[in-house]
Amino acid sequence: MKYIVVTGGVMSGLGKGITTASIGRLLKNRGYLVTAVKIDPYLNIDAGTMNPAQHGEVFVLSDGGEVDLDLGNYERFLDINLKSIHNITTGKVYRNVIEKERRGDFLGATVQIIPHITDEIRHCISRAANEEANGGRVADICMVEVGGTVGDIESMPFLEAVRQMHGELAPEDMLLVHVTLVPMDTMGDFKTKPTQHSVKALRELGLQPDIIVARSSDVIGPQTKKKISTFTDVPVKAVVSAKDAPDIYQIPMELEKEGLADVVCSYLSLENREPDTAWYRVVSQEYTNRVTVAIVSKYGIEDVYMSIKESLKHAGRALSTEVNIRWLDAETFEPRDLADVDGILIPGGFGKRGIEGKIRAIQYARENNKPYLGLCLGFQLSVIEYARHVLGIENATSEEMGEGTHVIAILPEQEDVSDLGGTMRLGNCDVTLKEGTNVAGLYGKTAIVERHRHRYEVNPEFIADLKGAGLVFSGTCGPRMEVCEIPDHPFYLATQFHPEFKSSPTNPSPPYIGFVEACKKNKSRSEIR
């Protein structure tokens, strides 16, 4: 097993996750099987209970793990399915150690950060790295991203564990990549001092970077690279420029041009094979059309909907269509904001705020024949909107939202749940699609597996009435309704599951493909009129 550990300095949000995924992609293009681990230094067990407006999207893995959005990037870039063990948090590590102490596993020893916590961290990394994937094979290379910034007190035990691993592994089995910031001053000069201090902080912890990925607004030149090399003892060839890019999928190509794969293969004594360029061709397809999609959201941060944004991009690439997103606040938007968009998307979410605005948007899409895609909460609100304005149940609502006629009810197994973390209906579930429906046509089959994250379902007491009023439930999981659609609408589809969690550039999600295609047709009709 080869390990590539990615750390970050100067500030958070530099793009360690994309850098990690991109390096993995460079190696995958050379025929190596790559897996990935994300270390999050927060005390939470997982990301499930964290406020998305502060932390960003909660990504759901196939086994139901609620994890950091970077694991979504790993899956999309590397075409792999990760599990909960691939996300290591301080909370998980300390819980495991404390449980061992309570069982008496340490035989009366005083439990300390070193060796007990660091040993547990190393065990977690090794276990995740050696988890079988892709047809039962173990990966050749494990990417390990250490979250946070070097110097943060929260990251110290993890960096100490990395230092211990570095001392025990052969030099060619571990590589340390440090992502840092090289800002530009008002005179247009690149400033290397933040990088110098960041590497100094890393060295004080006993770690010397092998490669520096220098984040900047523009390409850094040879002189700046030489200066960084001089102050950090990193060879010039291993100082890599990573400028801002308009599309994250361009970054592996930019790093390829910088020669990063050559350096990585040299350090790890890997055969530097000729790269397969098929993935590059997929993510570089030219656009011949453009559509605008309105996403009616209650959170003001786009990272909350990272997988949705990327899934629209994947579908757009497959259809040579650039998808522009118009973000609309669910509480303040006006109907005129929807008039000139080519499609409307209602994403998932929790809580009562913004619900009525989303329902208005769904009604607008249904009544004005505007292509519509609803996801999770969007599916539930679609049922509520139909019950109110077609079935005539004026006070139709969800049990989550309070008083009214609950056409959406809590799942029976959720009624007595008291702990919020990790207790929803999570991860992969088998879904059966009804033959001859739109959704079955999109998937090209009637048996699918998709990922879930919810506590509520369509109330069984109202299913017959909703069907009788014309709403088609075209997907089910046992007795639960999973997909609804309206047959005589240009495109009206809502799913209880989250199809965006399985979408990638090489495997775009079928509901998103159908939605973007419908948006193209809607735009064409509008232009003709």
Provide the annotated active-site residues.
376, 498, 500
DSSP state at residue 110: P
Dihedral through CA 146, CA 274, CA 270, CA 263, nearest 10? -60
Instruction: Select from 348, 442, 378, 416 the least CA-distant residue to 60.
Output: 348
Instruction: Select from 240, 2, 322 the least CA-distant residue to 142.
Output: 2
Task: Give the relative orientation of helices 510-528 and 306-318 as an angle to the nearest 10 degrees.
Answer: 70
Give dist(CA 55, CA 447) in Å, integer: 34
Q: Helix (H, G, I), strand (E, B), or coil: what is residue 241?
A: strand
Q: Which two tokens stand for residue 76?
A: 């999309």
Give dist(CA 362, CA 276) in Å, integer: 44
| Residue 206 CB neighbour total at 10 angstroms | 13
Element (H, E) at 114: none
| Residue 358 CB neighbour total at 10 angstroms | 27
Question: What are the CA-CA distances from residue 434 to residues 152, 373, 408, 463 (Å)?
Answer: 52, 18, 22, 16
Contacts with 502 (C-beta within 8 Å, 6 or more apart), sequence order: 450, 451, 509
Q: Give the position of tokens 């973390």.
A: 421
Cα four-point dihedral sign 41, 143, 77, 439: negative
- Cβ pair 36, 20 in contact under 8 A: yes
DSSP letters for 172-192: GGEEEEEEEE--B-TTS-B--
Give dist(CA 113, CA 509) in Å, integer: 44
Give dist(CA 433, CA 253) in Å, integer: 39
DSSP letters for 484-507: EE-TTSSSEEEESS-GGGG-BTTB
Hey, which residues does 327 pair with through a beta bridge?
295
Element (H, E) at 266: helix 260-267
Instruction: Select from 27, 35, 14, 5 the least CA-distant residue to 210.
Output: 5
Hey, which residues does 293 pair with through a beta bridge?
325, 343
Alpha helix segments (H runs only) across 290-371: 306-318, 336-339, 355-367
